[in-house]
């Protein structure tokens, strides 16, 4: 015992327990062996900030969604890859609407919950790993703030190249982001400043998730402004064509594959990035 968390499938365990609380299926976490214990995702940031967020919303039906989730689903068309499908809340609704949707996730436990809830087509892995499977898509969804998976300046080109390699001509990415810069909280403004001093984007969060005795490795997750996103997209096979910020500071960014050959350029870039140690 070191006091440090054991590395594990934090998101999967968290979702499994949230699902047990939600449905009564499976053992539920209890307080004092009797009362249901709320399932809380613990998010540590590398400046020492710790936040807790209830996990139940990962299972929410559309009646509890935010307006931008509805608008994202309404814009979805064709073969769709839900990147970071989580508990399948979005994929289930798309399936009901007859949209051919594939849920991708790096968490085996999240995929188990999604499967149990009825999501039919699920793949374990990252977008880069999925390129070799030969599947191609018209829409990529990065919802639940998953624009964050773009990580920052270093990872963005390879991540967007992998999406382009998975894309059919005319494909779109619909991504939910949050502009972090409206805050006046010195804990956050100080963090943004510290990030810039060390050569990172202000909202390039360095995080570790924890649940019970488990933890993840430290990883980067980006919250950025639409202007920063436009900068990250420049020079990639994608073009930022729309930013819907009706629910500011939250926004939905739409990227479109730029011109013919976008998919092929993406595939070449993925091969190049792999050679350079890309994921």
Ligand X SMILES: C[S@@+](CC[C@H](N)C(=O)[O-])C[C@H]1O[C@@H](n2cnc3c(N)ncnc32)[C@H](O)[C@@H]1O
Summarize as ranges the residues that interact with ligand X (CB under 6 A): 11, 58, 83-84, 86, 89-90, 104-107, 110, 126, 143-146, 149
Q: How many CB atoms lie within 10 A of CB 108?
A: 11
Q: Which is nearer to ligand X, 90 or 224 (CB)?
A: 90
216 phi and psi, to 5 degrees? -95, 170
Nearer to ligand X (CB atom), residue 143 or residue 223 = 143
86 or 263, CB closer to ligand X? Answer: 86
Distances (CA, A) of 107 to 16, 101, 181: 11, 18, 30
Task: Please state the closest distance from residue 119 (CB atom) to ligand X, in A.
Answer: 11
Nearest to 170 by CA among 136, 145, 127: 136
Least CB distance to ligand X at residue 192 (A): 21
Which of 120, 124, 115, 68 lies closest to 94, judged by CA? Answer: 120
Instruction: Choose between 110 and 223: whose C-beta lies nearer to ligand X.
Output: 110
Structure-block tokens of residue 15: 């979702």
Closest separation in Å from C-beta 41 to ligand X: 9
Rounded to the nearest whole angstrom, what is the least distance from the CB of residue 98 to ligand X in the complex?
20
CA distance 275 to 151: 20
Q: How far is the CB of 35 from ligand X (least distance, A)?
A: 26
- Is 172 or 197 the residue whose CB approaches ligand X more closely? 172
- In the beta sheet, which residues pair with residue 28? none
Q: Of 84 and 157, which CB lies nearer to ligand X in the complex structure? A: 84
Rounded least distance, CB 42 to ligand X, Å: 14
User: Got the DSSP string for 82-143?
Assistant: EET-TT-HHHHHHHHTT--EEEEES-HHHHHHHHHHT---EEES-HHHHHTTT--EEEEEE-
């Amino acid at each position: 015992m070191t006091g440090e968390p054991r590395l594990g499938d934090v998101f999967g365990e968290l979702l499994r327990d949230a699902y047990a609380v939600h449905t009564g299926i499976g053992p539920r976490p209890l307080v004092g062996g009797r009362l249901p214990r709320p399932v809380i995702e613990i998010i540590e940031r590398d400046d020492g900030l710790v936040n807790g967020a209830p996990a139940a919303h990962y299972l929410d039906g559309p009646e509890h969604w935010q307006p931008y989730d509805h608008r994202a689903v309404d814009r979805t068309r064709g073969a769709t890859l839900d990147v970071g499908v989580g508990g399948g809340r979005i994929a289930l609704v798309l399936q009901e609407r007859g949209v051919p949707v594939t849920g991708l996730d790096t968490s085996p436990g999240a995929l188990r919950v999604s499967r149990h809830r009825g999501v039919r087509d699920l793949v374990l892995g990252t977008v880069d790993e999925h390129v070799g499977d030969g599947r191609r898509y018209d829409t990529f969804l990065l919802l639940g703030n998953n624009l964050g998976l773009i990580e920052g300046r270093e990872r963005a080109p390879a991540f967007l190249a992998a999406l382009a390699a998975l894309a059919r001509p005319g494909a779109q990415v619909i991504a939910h982001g949050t502009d972090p810069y409206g805050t006046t909280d010195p804990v956050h403004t100080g963090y943004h400043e510290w990030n810039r001093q060390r050569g990172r984007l202000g909202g390039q969060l360095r995080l570790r998730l924890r649940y019970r005795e488990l933890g993840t490795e430290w990883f980067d997750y980006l919250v950025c402004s639409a202007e920063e996103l436009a900068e990250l997209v420049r020079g990639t096979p994608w073009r930022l064509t729309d930013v819907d910020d009706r629910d500011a500071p939250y926004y939905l960014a739409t990227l479109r594959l730029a011109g013919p050959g976008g998919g092929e350029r993406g595939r070449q870039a993925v091969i190049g990035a792999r050679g350079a140690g890309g994921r």
